[in-house]
Amino acid sequence: MIPGYCARVFTLVFVCIALLSGCASAPQPLPPGFVIERDVKPVESASPEIMRIFEAGLNKEYLLGPGDVVEILAPSLPEIAGEQTVSPDGSMTLYPSGELKVAGKTRTEVETVIRESLRHYFETPAFTLRIKSFENNLVHVLGRVSIPGTVKFRGKPNLLEALSRAGVFSSAGPARPPSSCAIIRGKDQMLWVSLDEMLRGASSGRNLELAGNDIIYIPEADEANVYVFGEVNKPGAFDVGSVKTLLNAIAQAGGPTENAITDSVMLVRNRGADAGEPIKISLDSFVEKTDFSKNIVLAKNDIIFVPRKGIAGLNYYLRMINPFTQLLLTGYTLSRI
């Protein structure tokens, strides 16, 4: 059977099981060390060391994406010269090469792609590529802000400018500026930043450089969310009152992808210095055995992480996430094992 089809079938079955489990079985309490508390401690902001690691994972060069306009300068090859706009699917069409995938690549990498494609038609293709319009230098600001939405940058994105342009610190903004925010990058990175410390200029706070398509999320003071990351179809933050249990949270996140390790899902709860060991949960037991003993009741700021296949250092990964209170760095860290 086709792997992608198998994954879709698994996801469909999983979501159905999640819906049925809400009626068929009461969610189980947490094991020792994961007792639900009425007043859950706030998530601790990242340390300066963690923030440096977060910034070190940035690609310092601009990555092309849909809508970007590039120009090929080729005086000796006028047939390839001219402007190109990257299509919504991340490609551009170049005569005589045809369709070339360029999204997610730097200008130099795109030059290499074009040069390799032209070598089938020209012995020594000479040209220069330049970016005329940067349309993907974007950061998304959501939550408790005056102007939620997308912020477009001319230069390198940074946290302070994104928050300022979203109205966090304006007179029309919240009565009191929020004390912290989360930065979500891709499927496997999340960082909590202290805005109080950043504005005071403290050594533990800094105006972080951001990557294109980073999400800045500022929760309401009384908001209670859980966070689902990794190999799910719709990672993000979910209201704990709506999802209630681990199984429902993963279902709300669209279920596992075909690259998910479904028998090694991790639940991590922030307790500062008293953080317990992550709980390892098998989604396969839900689907195959209808065993809901690990369908755990969630609490504010819980993190659910679904790892991806092909991680050679899974044991290392499990050790690394043991405080897991500030940052999911699997993509950055595991590539350096």
**Domain count across the chain:** 3
Token readout for 324 is 């897991």
State percent of the chain over pLDDT 70: 67
| CATH number, position 317 | 3.10.560.10
71 pLDDT more than 50: yes
pLDDT category at 127 given cuts 50, 70, 90 is very high
Question: How far is residue 169's CA from residue 181's CA, in Å, rounded to a whole number?
Answer: 13
Token readout for 268 is: 């991590």
The residue from 83, 113, 133 where one domain ends is 133
- Taking the alpha carbons of 103, 105, 108, 112 in that order, is the dihedral positive or negative? negative
Are residues 154 and 123 both part of a single domain? no
Q: Shortest CA distance to 306 belongs to which of 244, 257, 245?
A: 257
Separation CA 55–CA 35 (nearest Å): 34
Give the residue from 133, 150, 170 where a domain finishes: 133
Read off the pLDDT of residues 134-147 as tens digits, 9 standing for 90 and up.
Answer: 888 899 998 888 88
Is the residue at 51 inside a domain? no
In a domain, 272, yes or no: yes
- Confidence at residue 198, expressed as pLDDT on a 0 to 100 scale: 78
Q: What average pLDDT does the structure give for the chain?
A: 75
Q: Which domain holds residue 269?
A: 3-40+224-334
How deeply is 120 buried, as exposed, middle or buried, from its count of CB atoms within 10 A (0-12, 13-18, 19+)? exposed
pLDDT band at 299; cut points 50, 70, 90 = confident
Place of tokens 């994961």: 34
Token pair belonging to 146: 């005056």
- Condensed to tens digits (0 to 9), the pLDDT of residues 6-63 reads 555 455 555 555 555 554 445 454 444 444 444 445 556 777 777 777 777 677 788 8
Q: Could you tell me which of 84, 73, 105 has the C-alpha nearest to residue 212?
A: 105
Last residue of a domain, one of 117, 133, 149: 133
Whether the pLDDT of residue 216 is over 50: the answer is yes
Per the structure block, which two tokens stand in for 143? 């939550």
Are 297 and 262 in contact by the 8 Å Cβ rule? The answer is no
Radius of gyration of the chain (CA): 23
CA separation for the pair 12, 160 (Å, rounded): 41
Q: Which residues pair with 228 in a beta bridge?
A: 236, 304
* Percent above pLDDT 90 for the chain: 19
